[in-house]
Structure 1
Amino acid sequence: MAKLQNSAGQPMRQQSHRMVIFIAIFILMTLLILYSSNNNNESIYTPFNVAANNALRSTDLKKWAGKDGYVPVYGNKNMSLHCRNCALVTSSSHVLGSQAGEEIDRTECVIRMNDAPTLGYETDVGNRTSLRVVAHSSVFRVVRRPNEFLRHSDSNSMIIFWGPPNKIGKDAKGTLYRLIQRVSMTYSNMSCFSVTPIKMRRFDSLFHRETGRDRQKSHSWLSTGWFTMVMAIEICDNIKVYGMVPPNHCGKKSVSKKMPYHYYKPRGPDECVTYLQNESSRRGNHHRFITEKQVFARWAKQYNITFTHPKW
């Protein structure tokens, strides 16, 4: 009878022993996952106050600037543009109703971004373009409307294309680079440049220095606004920015009216919704618009930058 009890109890003890081992392994794996997550917390982007972080290192962008970071897409032209006063016209719908067009056109140099049009919006955004900064993702939209973006500009105006070197770099052999090259050859009134791979890495390093965040680890994409602001500081002695909201704008309770993200897309996404979603999103790569604007606010004190429509 005792033998029967022993033989029955042994499987029970073995099963209990396996359960203890399983629980121990589960707890250990959970702890390892939590430890790994804490050690890689840069991959989870959370908004923070750049302006209040005294540990960040500021870069002298006037010394950081280098015309060698821009290479002609075709020919042997030099990126030698320099302006005393610049109007940087954003693509925000806050420029609508500003009636700033005449003031913008009187400015020595006018800087625009991507495929932001002037035709039909001259009263608010002006008509002239001295420099247009174009992301690789906007090249096709610009080329599809040559009368607007390629023929209709200042004499000797410039386009600077930025993007992954394998798409727009000198060594790129894809469709996009050939298209940029053809544009440069066709429209002799314009000087077309691309940002070199070394300069692209320096833009990443600048973001890290100014925000404390590694761009890649924090799953961030630099916006065209980031590139354009840096280029404007390189080129201009004084900059007046039209249409850019301050970094705390979308957190104000008084902001109730929806504003389209782009002034030329009235049915497009809401600006504040776009900013907030991009700033806090943890999956995929996103522009960190609010973080970038915190940096711009700090740069404004160093590089003679003023903001209007809205004024801040």
Structure 2
Amino acid sequence: MGLKLTGKGQQSHRLVIFAAIFVLMTLLILYGSNNVNDTIYAPFHVATHYAFKATDLKKWSGKDGYVPFHGNKSMNLRCHNCALVTSSSHVLGSRAGEEIDRTECVIRMNDAPTLGYETDVGNQTSLRVVAHSSVFRVVRRPKELLQRPDSSPVIIFWGPPSKIGKEAKGTLYRLLQRVSMTYSNLSCFSITANKMRRFDSLFHRETGRDRQKSHSWLSTGWFTMVIAIEICDNIKVYGMVPPNHCGKSKPGSKKIPYHYYKPRGPDECVTYLQNEGGRRGGHHRFITEKQVFARWAKQYNITFAHPTWL
């Protein structure tokens, strides 16, 4: 004798079946997508067994890599000794400011300030490398970052040619052109479209990873390190951790803000690990980049301080 379901019972039965099918399909989708992503991206770091193709970064750039926003200036900065000051909170408490300011050329990134942090990061700036996403933060603080009567720094802006290129003449380009005309002490340059493509190619050559296919965005640190190698004979990097630093983190260990000037900002290792493991959207591959920097250090007279490594 068959069991006859009431209308209410039939409805409950259908809901149970629907829920079971939904859970099964979700698991299949997740399993399939994880398998695909793991095959392509994990672990992201420099590709295993990749045969590195040595690139002589001293000859890599050529003379046409930088275009002035105003006038006919040339990017001819050259230095024997350079201090590359990162934006990491590891510089706090270093008391390296005097040493940094005694260096022939001092390189900084984006809108990293010196005011109020002179004891640890110094006050002098010879070159500042700025991402297109940081332009407005820099322009909003002209007295500190642009209008410095005691210095005549070079500023190199990098970003998609469609946003910052001379041919596009978009909002950012026009803004930076006005900045360059207003502050005559500055020498402002953009990286050409051709050289931007070469930065992508360099990342591929050094890591075995295609930047676009792996959903990666080169960091300002990547651009800054390459430019520093181009113009400096010796480089001392302040505040950069080694590539295995975040792997040593233990539960309960002290949190280190990602930027020294944003004490309430995200934790450095959390930022590094989230970006390194990100598989969708654009991510900086900070740890992978540091693996490359460690290799370059042996070729281009690069040392690291606060923390000291290599």
TM-score, structure 1 as length reference: 0.85
Contact 1:91–1:113 (8 Å) recurs in 2: yes
- The match for 1:229 is 225
Change (3 A) 1:45 1:167: farther
Q: 2:69 aligned with 1:77, yes or no?
A: no
Q: 2:47 aligned with 1:55, yes or no?
A: no
Q: 2:297 aligned with 1:282, yes or no?
A: no
Match of 2:108, SS state, is: strand
Q: Supply the AA of the counterpart residue of 2:281.
A: G
Of 95, 100, 118, the residue aligned with 2:96 is 100
Q: Supply the AA of the counterpart residue of 2:243.
A: P
Separation of aligned partners in 2, 1:46 and 1:182: 44
- The match for 1:270 is 267
Of 99, 105, 108, the residue aligned with 1:109 is 105
Q: 2:29 aligned with 1:46, yes or no?
A: no
Separation of aligned partners in 2, 1:163 and 1:39: 27
By how many angstroms is 1:63 displaced?
1.5
- The match for 1:161 is 157
Separation of aligned partners in 2, 1:218 and 1:54: 16
Q: 2:252 aligned with 1:259, yes or no?
A: no
By how many angstroms is 1:152 displaced?
2.5
By how many angstroms is 1:247 displaced?
0.2
By how many angstroms is 1:157 displaced?
1.4
Change (3 A) 1:53 1:100: farther
Separation of aligned partners in 2, 1:133 and 1:153: 20
Separation of aligned partners in 2, 1:86 and 1:305: 10
More moved, 233-242 vs 59-68? 59-68
Separation of aligned partners in 2, 1:287 and 1:144: 25
Q: After superposition, give the CA deviation of every residue in 1:123-171 in whole Å (9 maximum; x if it has no partner).
A: 0000000000000000000000001100127533100000000111111
Q: 2:200 aligned with 1:213, yes or no?
A: no
Contact 2:86–2:238 (8 Å) recurs in 1: yes
Q: Supply the AA of the counterpart residue of 1:109.
A: C
- The match for 2:307 is 310
Match of 1:172, SS state, is: coil
Superposition map of 1:21-40 within 5 A: none
5+ residue gaps, structure 1, are 1-29
Separation of aligned partners in 2, 1:154 and 1:209: 40
Q: Supply the AA of the counterpart residue of 2:254.
A: K
Q: Supply the AA of the counterpart residue of 1:48.
A: H
Change (3 A) 1:302 1:108: same
Separation of aligned partners in 2, 1:139 and 1:48: 30
Separation of aligned partners in 1, 2:172 and 2:189: 14
Q: 2:84 aligned with 1:88, yes or no?
A: yes
Contact 2:45–2:207 (8 Å) recurs in 1: no
Contact 2:46–2:209 (8 Å) recurs in 1: no
Match of 1:220, SS state, is: coil
Q: Supply the AA of the counterpart residue of 1:71.
A: V
Q: After superposition, give the CA deviation of every residue in 1:252-276 in whole Å (9 maximum; x if it has no partner).
A: 1458110000000000000000000
Q: 2:168 aligned with 1:172, yes or no?
A: yes
Q: 2:280 aligned with 1:297, yes or no?
A: no
Change (3 A) 1:88 1:41: same
Separation of aligned partners in 1, 2:92 and 2:229: 25
Number of equivalenced pairs: 278
Contact 2:90–2:306 (8 Å) recurs in 1: yes
Q: 2:246 aligned with 1:250, yes or no?
A: yes
Q: After superposition, give the CA deviation of every residue in 1:158-212 in whole Å (9 maximum; x if it has no partner).
A: 0000000011111122211111000000000010000000000000000000000
Change (3 A) 1:164 1:54: closer
Separation of aligned partners in 1, 2:152 and 2:307: 31
- The match for 2:184 is 188
Change (3 A) 1:208 1:70: same
By how many angstroms is 1:57 displaced?
1.4
Amino-acid identity (%): 80
5+ residue gaps, structure 2, are 1-27
Please provide the CA RMSD for this pair: 2.0
Match of 2:64, SS state, is: helix
Change (3 A) 1:153 1:142: farther
Q: Supply the AA of the counterpart residue of 2:266.
A: P
By how many angstroms is 1:60 displaced?
1.0
Match of 1:285, SS state, is: coil
Separation of aligned partners in 1, 2:142 and 2:249: 42
